[in-house]
Chains A and B, each alone.
Chain A
């Protein structure tokens, strides 16, 4: 839609010219045409700037505004070069070397501009288009915080944290933030944390309103890069079909984008982790804390045994789930740890 809109004035212009005066062999239009052409170009720049202004509230966190401005500056100067070359071409059509040079410049800049326009895809955020470097938001811990997703109010509702019933379905229980954190710690301890982390982030995504597509796209892309693509840092255990469905989607804002994957992973957690969790130290601790919060009883000495058949002797110091940045390839990582 965007591309035809840009090309339309050119096509129309060309048609008008053709009507008025069939192409002569010199194929130049008069100086009076220069003004509307320049106007058109500056109109593009203005539109782009206006667009940036409109979405600047989310761009700031990623330093994208600067990238965009750089882009605009670059394209504006390119247009300047184009106009300069064109004028030179028009005025001094008697000097042959200048003709060649200016025509070359004309073609070069025009083709660069065409390339740039063609490569802009509006299905993706501008960041990855304009900037070749990838900037990670280092100062904030989670993507949810970066995008300013509000914390759920569940932390304030104390009574809700208390009655955790093991017979309730796990997906309902996981909506409780405290429970989710405890469960996540347990899952991390048995090296199966990625499913819970995924649940957590998809839950965050669900909090972004549907009418805020830009933030939804950012979050969805973040989740795909972190959990879905093959070989991702915290790739989740989902089937080929579901992975392909997500990767092939054209609408990143779709509210049911991750539903199938979430279903499959909830089943996986239910069958693998739930039973062991109820008999683990993590659940005892969780109950203890919940009780303390509700009754404000003084801390009693905890007497509990870890009945869970999960990792008693393995100390996974380089647990990938506690690191923010995990080296991309598994094999690379393993080699590195052996070299140490």
Chain B
């Protein structure tokens, strides 16, 4: 009797023991998880959140790629290779746009003879246009590259390209068309520059974490940069990122003053950028957020502004050219800059005037310039942080 009782007690004890052990383990696990969450939260606190905003094709993703190249591991061979299909797709799509465009101009334009293609060019054009409308593009080979080059060099296509602003021709066109031979090589691996030129319309949100100083982590701030799509339908998603933003990097492609939107060909891109910047500035979340305005695509701007007067854009109607050459470019740039400055101060309520606003002249493809610009951005954000800490 006693023995059985003792045995039972023993059983009970051991059972209890087992339970408490399991409990303890669970508790320890929970504590560990809590500790890690806490740790992560602390780590997150030090990370500054940066947003890349701007209308479609303003160069947000190019800046993003530059950051990856400059302050992160860059692109390994696999990643570079993954851009082959993108670059080839860019070429096929562009040549299709140009070919279809020349047909359209030949039909509807007053001076239509300029755009009429010879019959042999038409044969090539039809073939490439068919490829361009496929879902899967073939890899670019010598033969196709030769045909594309023939088409590209044709005067009617060149005339059409000169009116590219009416056709949604991507900015990378000239660069890729001039490098067709290299791009069609069987062993072709894209260079950094090719990757920067490659056009991918972003959808959704992509992020990257970096520190501008690189190796010396102690002195550098840690940033998390978010890249988003810029077309109208993509903008509804931005709102999910608006909380706790240190700085908005707003990209404005200043070369696009004579182009219309990809998603709405009735709307001038510059006017859209103006309205978008205004909308972003007025967001309640950005009361204390710094604004870094990148007046991007300066390389295209300086070539264009001498040929196409700035006042074709409704927003710049009151622009008067003063001289020629370099001076004129500077004058036009300063005019655009002033317009954006005015807009900033118009759209910023008096209680927000203490937020940081800086304008930079950029060419997202220029690695040195982007590096320098980001050093400046980093510096002004750090100064801002010190200033805030001093106040508190």
Contacts and interface: CB of A to CB of B under 8 A. Distances in A.
Interface of A: 169, 171, 187, 190-192, 194-195, 230-231, 235-241, 243, 263, 266-273, 275-276, 309-314, 316, 318-320, 330-331, 333-334, 337-338
B27 to A, nearest CB: 21
Nearest to B233: A235
A311 B205 contact: yes
A272 B205 contact: no
A235 B202 CA distance: 15
B201 A268 contact: yes
A239 B203 contact: no
Contacts of B263: 230, 237-240, 243
Contacts of B237: 191, 320
Of the candidates B86, B236, B265, the one having the most CB atoms from chain A within 10 angstroms of its own CB is B236
A280 B236 CA distance: 24
Contacts, number: 98
A192 B264 contact: no
A268 B236 CA distance: 18
A235 B232 CA distance: 9
5 contacts: A192-B229, A241-B265, A313-B207, A333-B239, A338-B284
B265 A312 contact: no
A316 B263 CA distance: 25
A314 B241 contact: yes
Nearest to A329: B236
Contacts of B206: 190, 276, 309-310
B13 interface: no
Contacts of A187: 204
A171 B240 contact: no
Nearest to A319: B240
A268 B86 CA distance: 10
Given A237-B234, A240-B262, A320-B236, A271 B89 contact: yes
Interface residues of B, number: 40
Contact of B201 (A235, A237, A331): A237
Contacts of B229: 192, 237
Given A263-B133, A268-B203, A273-B204, A313 B236 contact: no
Listed residue (B89, B201, B208, B283) with the most chain A CB atoms within 10 angstroms of its CB: B201
Residue among B86, B206, B264 with the highest chain A CB neighbour number at 10 A:
B206
A303 B263 CA distance: 42
A187 B203 CA distance: 10
> Which residue among B86, B233, B235 has the maximum number of chain A CB atoms within 10 Å of its CB?
B233
A309 to B, nearest CB: 6
Given A236-B233, A330-B235, 4 more contacts: A171-B135, A240-B263, A271-B86, A311-B205
Contact of B240 (A238, A268, A309, A316): A316
A179 to B, nearest CB: 17
A267 B89 contact: yes
Contacts of B240: 191, 314, 316, 318-319
B224 interface: yes
Interface string B151-176: 00000000000000000100000000
A142 B283 CA distance: 35
B203 A237 contact: yes
Closest 7 CB pairs of A and B: A192-B204, A235-B233, A330-B236, A190-B204, A240-B265, A191-B237, A192-B203
B204 A333 contact: no
Contacts of B89: 267, 271
B351 interface: no
B168 A309 contact: no
Interface string B280-313: 0001110000000000000000000000000000
B208 A309 contact: yes
B203 A195 contact: yes
Nearest to B90: A271
B224 A313 contact: yes
A156 B16 CA distance: 48
B135 A169 contact: yes
B380 interface: no
Contacts of A276: 206
A263 B233 contact: no
Contact of A275 (B82, B135, B233, B260): B82
Nearest to B263: A240
B200 interface: yes
Interface in B170-213: 200-208
B38 interface: no
Nearest to A192: B204
A338 B224 contact: no
B262 A314 contact: no
A306 B85 CA distance: 25
Given A194-B233, A316-B240, A240 B261 contact: yes
Nearest to B235: A330
B120 interface: no
A190 B200 contact: no
B44 interface: yes
Given A266-B135, A313-B44, A239 B168 contact: yes
B48 interface: no
